[in-house]
Amino acid sequence: MAPAVGGLQLTSLAGDRRPAVGDSDDLEDVRLLDSYDEIDAGVRRIQVTVTGMTCAACSNSVESALKSLDGVISASVALLQNKADVVFNPALLKDEDIKNAIEDAGFEADILPESSAVGKMPRGTLVGQFTIGGMTCAACVNSVEGILRNLPGVKRAVVALATSSGEVEYDPSVINKDDIVNAIEDSGFEASFVQSNEQDKIILGVVGVYSLIDAQVLEGILSSTKGVRQFHFDQISGELDVLFDPEVFSSRSLVDAIQGGSDGKFKLHVRSPYKRMASKEVEETSTIFRLFIYSLFLSIPLFFMRVVCPHIPLMYSLLHRRCGPFLMGDWLKWALVSLIQFVIGKRFYIAASRALRNGSTNMDVLVAVGTTASYVYSVCALLYGALTGFWSPTYFETSAMLITFVLLGKYLECLAKGKTSDAIKKLVELAPATAVLVVKDKGGKSIEEREIDSLLVQPGDTLKVLPGAKIPADGIVTWGSSYVNESMVTGESVPILKEVNASVIGGTINLHGVLHIQATKVGSDTVLSQIISLVETAQMAKAPIQKFADYVASIFVPSVVSLALLTLFGWYIAGSIGAYPEEWLPENANHFVFALMFSISVVVIACPCALGLATPTAIMVATGVGANNGVLIKGGDALERAQMVKYVIFDKTGTLTQGKAIVTTAKTFTGMERGEFLKLVASAEASSEHPLAKAILAYARHFHFFDDSSATTGTENDAKSGWLFDVSDFSALPGRGVQCFIDGKRILVVGNRKLMEENGIDISTEVENFVVELEESAKTGILVAYNDILIGVLGIADPLKREASVVIEGLQKMGVTPVMVTGDNWRTAHAVAKEVGIQDVRAEVMPAGKADVVRSFQKDGGIVAMVGDGINDSPALAAADVGMAIGAGTDIAIEAADYVLMRNNLEDVITAIDLSRKTFSRIRLNYVFAMAYNVVAIPVAAGVFYPSLGIKLPPWVAGACMALSSLPINCKLYLDCNWCSTLPPPSRSISLVFIYA
């Protein structure tokens, strides 16, 4: 069973690279996410965002300008991050001097506020999430991101096409959310604010407001409530936005005040931002589907008039009856297509005009150009025929069918996007809607139980959890005993016993007994919320492979329009000079019409959507599948690197082994009684937090008291019981052992013979042989010296995880070389490695030395993954190309890693690598399909094969090809996502198929 992870913190590191690791042997005092780089006293380090860099020459120019300043000690510029890191002497330079130097070099600069930890948001900024509608391809994403990043006060902006959302970090003293929404809307897209990390705002759903009088009563209650700064009530949606002072009252007190002020008439509940976003997605899908149905309904008569009616004499004669200057059929076509073109297709014109206004192009531009050309030509042909009597064929149905097929493609795209976000939806649904609050008096006696919204739970609240109910928040059990199913969060399938003082995770299910828990973490601080946040961040991140798609998308539409014009002029000029026979022309058509139809087909058959969506959608599904299987991925770059892993380095203790050391042997060599020997060792180890120390202490305690239950008590109780000796001058020797003084005599407890020899303590042959025997049986020999005399040896075993050998064999079959690194001695390390099947072993490695081992494997260009769980593994996790932290490990190991394996199960290492390989294999296949479709379809539409093979695509057929090209792959995605939700356990390799339009 995996240990509890109630204190887990899951925070994504900013940037691609993690901090460098120093050479310190002792990392026990390293704070979470602190940089290991040391800055000398008297110097200062700042980071500056640099805007306007386009290539390596630009970054070199900025770097040279900075290094030329008197007082700059070092300067490095990251082109991709648009950031400069400068270390300088503040006595010689000011921040403004550095900014001016960059601006003098021809670039824009902005000094970033200092933060105490990597990845921590600068003080005074907010992170807001926005839904952005109207984006159709990567070019739209680039356009919106560029606009947002240029806004004053915006520090960071990331836009995700797959989720139609954006995350903006901004300074509220410079710009507010309404300004950001207006900027997005001014650029031609739809936008709305979803949520921010602002703590004094709440969005409530209100039930019970049925009239204007009720609304006035609600407004009166809010106006008279002290601490309410601002509020807005939308009577149509029933949403109440309240801005309040958290120093005056909490969100729950606000809800109680409103409900109490209305005498219970109004019922309020907190609106979940995720559910609000889901409702907007459903609304968008419904709108597209409704437009598609309307367009299809109006297009069917056009199809019948074109294909069926000529074979029905009565209908044909009615349509050819003259009514004014035109035939009845022409009037009917014109009216139906005008509705489709300008009412249903209005969204394409709006989106295209927005894109062109911002100097960019997208799929909407192609649709607008193609359909408008067909519509305008048809209208001109009618007017020309009415004036001259020469009637050319019209192509009204082409415009209508194009819009219908494009709407079908967009509807399928919406369904695909909805399926990719299923992981977030499932995680959100884990949290219960309500919680039972136990109200206590000042004496701590329960006086009332009442049901409240789970989003209103506060730290310190006592909550009652009934059998079968979900736990509302992270907390500590204060009363009761029960088994809890944590599989939905940690992946651990075996229910875990929870008793008093045990930690519980919000969203898990209480199976049997009644529990009272005290909430410790609520809202965004809970494990479940942080998992959701981590998955969201990963899904919004761009993998490096996405750069290719972004580049192609930026030139795709202009290239297609250019090819369409080339097709138009090519066929027209060829016809004018007699390069092809007149028999090729349609009835009553001329060379211009013949060329125009080929040109329109080129415009409408081209599809840039696949390139724009292939990578982000695949990453969304992969991170979602990983989250459902206990593998949390911190971004697309980490996912991409994992597919190329050549070496996987495992820490031994707690990673390959269970991390539950037990003493198997205790032998003395000086005639000292065994009890006295164990008492000495236990006294020395009582002040250590090392797992081996706890094992030794538990063994000694059991020997003295013969009480298994006492093995779970802490060292504080041991000290109070008086059975241990008083120690002085205690010191831990990282990676080696401990030393202290008892009765003025030094005692050394170490697992390192060399340290004994360095202290002048002889190791007899008998002791040496005994230790060798222990080490060859995969046990660790702990040598104990008292008063500079070796008095005994302890043998400690740490059982291997049951799946360790299977995982090693699986990695080898995948072509990955497993490596074991440990601070243990060589014999023990080799014995453990032999048992699991690892050939390459690095033993007696100090904590900082593990990072050096990682770098040694990186020298040959191989991608290295590090799997670890402890603080001493964090330098290696940070140095590795892919860091994987066991979820049951320490916070700092989890912070330094790219992957978090929520279950304490090594099989997830294979899951992570296999998931990455399958995902990027499908991404490449998507790119091949997207490029192949356009490379083949555009020449066919342009009529390249018409002279030799007679292949010709009318515009409406070309539009159908464009839309239907998405149909099989979107359906495949829909089925794959359903299949992914029932993945087999990680003991078998994951098989994933991702193909997207």
The tokens for 735 are 């990676």
- Rounded to an integer, what distance in angstroms lies between the CA atom of residue 512 and that of residue 183? 54
Helix (H), strand (E) at residue 88: strand 83-88
Task: Find out whether 973 and 419 touch, Cβ atoms under 8 Å.
Answer: yes
Task: Find out whether 219 and 147 touch, Cβ atoms under 8 Å.
Answer: no
Task: Find out whether 546 and 554 touch, Cβ atoms under 8 Å.
Answer: no
Distance of CA 174 to the CA centre of its chain: 28
Task: Find out whether 879 and 21 touch, Cβ atoms under 8 Å.
Answer: yes
CA atoms within 13 A on the CB side of 642: 35
Cα–Cα nearest to 400, from 498, 550, 298: 298
Entry field: residues in the chain: 997
Cα–Cα nearest to 783, from 754, 817, 823: 754
Instruction: Produce one character per residue of 413-431: b if its CB has 16 or more CB atoms within 10 Å, e if not.
Output: bbbbbbbbbbbbbebbebb
Residue found under tokens 């901004």: 170
Cα–Cα nearest to 643, from 629, 628, 622, 625: 622
Task: Find out whether 723 and 704 touch, Cβ atoms under 8 Å.
Answer: yes
DSSP labels, 924-961: HHHHHHHHHHHHHHHHHHTTTTHHHH-----HHHHHHH
- Rounded to an integer, what distance in angstroms lies between the CA atom of residue 346 and that of residue 344? 6
C-alpha torsion 836→895→81→926, nearest 10: 50
User: In the β-sheet with 496-498, what is the strand arrangement from edge to edge?
Assistant: 496-498, 482-485, 509-510
- The yes-or-no answer on residue 651 being catalytic is yes
- Rounded to an integer, what distance in angstroms lies between the CA atom of residue 924 and that of residue 930? 10
DSSP labels, 958-975: HHHHHHHTTHHHHHHHHH
DSSP labels, 191-244: EEEEEES-TTEEEEEEE---SHHHHHHHHHHHHHSTTEEEEEEETTTTEEEEEE
- Rounded to an integer, what distance in angstroms lies between the CA atom of residue 362 and that of residue 609? 9
- Rounded to an integer, what distance in angstroms lies between the CA atom of residue 402 and that of residue 959? 5
Residue found under tokens 């003991």: 987
β-pair type (503-504, 474-479):
antiparallel
Distance of CA 208 to the CA centre of its chain: 39
Which residues, in sequence order, are bridge partners of residue 322?
327
Active-site residue identified among 422, 651, 898, 914:
651
- Rounded to an integer, what distance in angstroms lies between the CA atom of residue 254 and that of residue 243? 11
CA atoms within 13 A on the CB side of 868: 35
Cα–Cα nearest to 889, from 873, 875, 878: 873
- Rounded to an integer, what distance in angstroms lies between the CA atom of residue 178 and that of residue 139? 24
Which residues, in sequence order, are bridge partners of residue 129?
167, 195
C-alpha to C-alpha distances, 589 to 29, 392, 586, 859, 959, nearest whole angstrom: 84, 6, 5, 69, 22
DSSP labels, 633-669: E--HHHHHHHTTEEEEEEEIIIIIB-S--EEEEEEES
Which residues are known catalytic residues? 651
